[in-house]
Amino acid sequence: MKGNMISWKDLYIGGQWVRASGAEIAVVNPATEEPAGVVVSSSAKDLDDAVAAARRAFDGWRTVPVERRLAHILAIAEGMRERQDELVRLIATEMGAPVRLGRGVHTGLPISVLESHRTIADSLRFSTEVGNSLVVREPRGVVAAITPWNFPLHQIIAKLAPALLAGCTVVLKPSLEAPLSTYALCQIIEQAGLPDGVVNLVIGRGAESGEALVRHPGVDMVSFTGSTDAGRRIGSLAADLVRPVTLELGGKSANVILEDADLPVAVKVGVANAFMNAGQTCSAWTRMLVPRSRLDVTRELIAKYAVANEPGDPMDPATRMGPVVSARQRESVLRYIDGAVSDGCELLIGGVDRPHGLDRGFYVRPTVFVDVPPDSRIAREEVFGPVLAVLGYETEEEALELANDSSYGLAGAVWAKDRERALDFAREMETGQVDVNGGRFNPLAPFGGYKRSGIGREFGTFGVEEYLQVKSIQL
């Protein structure tokens, strides 16, 4: 540390902290626009060393009993709990998530995911008999885990925990926008006592280090979370090598409020969901579908509930929404807002102006467009910022058509007084996860997308199975 600057110039390779040999890269605090830290990128040799360390560790790790692998996973959870306050501050500093969100979603959720592997381990079956065959499941090998900045620890744990439980070793490459909390996590992993080389950390830009890692001959599988465009590139590279890949990509999720729903509750939860993490959530409900007859009431409710999401200092415990992660991200979101205004979409709240009293920082006002045409960009493209599009519909059939009229299919929601009616609607939605009347996140249930939202699943036994390959032995 130098003043308030965090300087982290090492990589975690083969159980050792070794000096990175690439270029220095600044980490910017999005709330202040000031440098918050510096990291050093990996060279080609660093990547080779990390993959080689993971390869050496694999043969031993795969033979470790599941109970011992689980013990290491739970030790990581305990280490995160002990350093939770520090992790919350690091995430607030590097990507602007408010500390109240940091304690719950950014750190509390990955701890819960780690601990869910107790239940998962009990349900795994690595061999089964089918007729005269023994069907065995074996770890795939060395996994390249490439993760984004929007939920830095949660996205890492979603890959790391199932890969470790399956018996794989990992080379982790986090996003350069939010690498600081990952260093702290690797310290926790070191203290958890995993054998040398089971988890390795490299740093670098996606177009350079990420692609080099995907193409590396020592890698057996790639797990990527990020934008759909980047995922298509990763998938293409992996396909050329006939290398298995999981892709958790973008979304434009529909929040469908049916005629008999409790409108105030559905709107309140929907607004909070759309603006959580400053809208930088792949599964955010960024399309709210409302009966046209209830649009006027919906306008009033949104104006009422959106006030709670006014941006502020992420270190203030009262703040619900911080800045977006970078100047580039802010510019992208503002272009979408400006474009929607130019297209004649009805702006209810927000806009391109800076939030009152926030002259610095990459802040965007929570913005809502109402009665949005279904073919507009704001209704079809992933903005990845605090922007909500409200669409009206006449019939339930039209609502379903609008919900499914998307190239994405990651998440969604449906609200109705009649639970069975909501369930019937949810079954018809073309998306990987649907919340009914505000159903809670379940770390044992699968998460992943239809269509351009990705390939494969995370969480629960479904997530572990992605890291296993199947062999049939005829007896």
Which residues are identified as catalytic? 248, 282
* Distance, CA of 237 to CA of 167 (rounded, Å): 25
Q: According to the 3-state scheme, what is the secondary structure of the chain?
A: CECCEEEECEEEECCEEEECCCCEEEEEECCCCEEEEEEECCCHHHHHHHHHHHHHHHHHHCCCCHHHHHHHHHHHHHHHHHCHHHHHHHHHHHHCCCHHHHHHHHHHHHHHHHHHHHHHHHHCCCEEEECCEEEEEEECCEEEEECCCCCHHHHHHHHHHHHHHHCCEEEEECCCCCCHHHHHHHHHHHHCCCCCCCEEECCCCHHHHHHHHHHCCCCCEEEEECCHHHHHHHHHHHHHCCCCEEEECCCCCEEEECCCCCHHHHHHHHHHHHHHHHHCCCCCCCEEEEEHHHHHHHHHHHHHHHHHHCECCCCCCCCCECCCCCHHHHHHHHHHHHHHHHCCCEEEECCCCCCCCCCCCCCCCCEEEECCCCCCHHHHCCCCCCEEEEEEECCHHHHHHHHHCCCEECCEEEECCCHHHHHHHHHHCCCCCCEECCCCCCCCCCECCEECCEECCECHHHHHHCCEEEEEEEC
Q: Is there a contact between 215 and 187 (Cβ–Cβ < 8 Å)?
A: no
Q: Is there a contact between 234 and 72 (Cβ–Cβ < 8 Å)?
A: no
User: What distances in angstroms separate CA 237 from CA 102, 160, 211, 213, 408, one per listed residue?
Assistant: 34, 22, 8, 10, 22
Sort 472 into a burial class: Cβ within 10 Å, 0-12 / 13-18 / 19+.
exposed
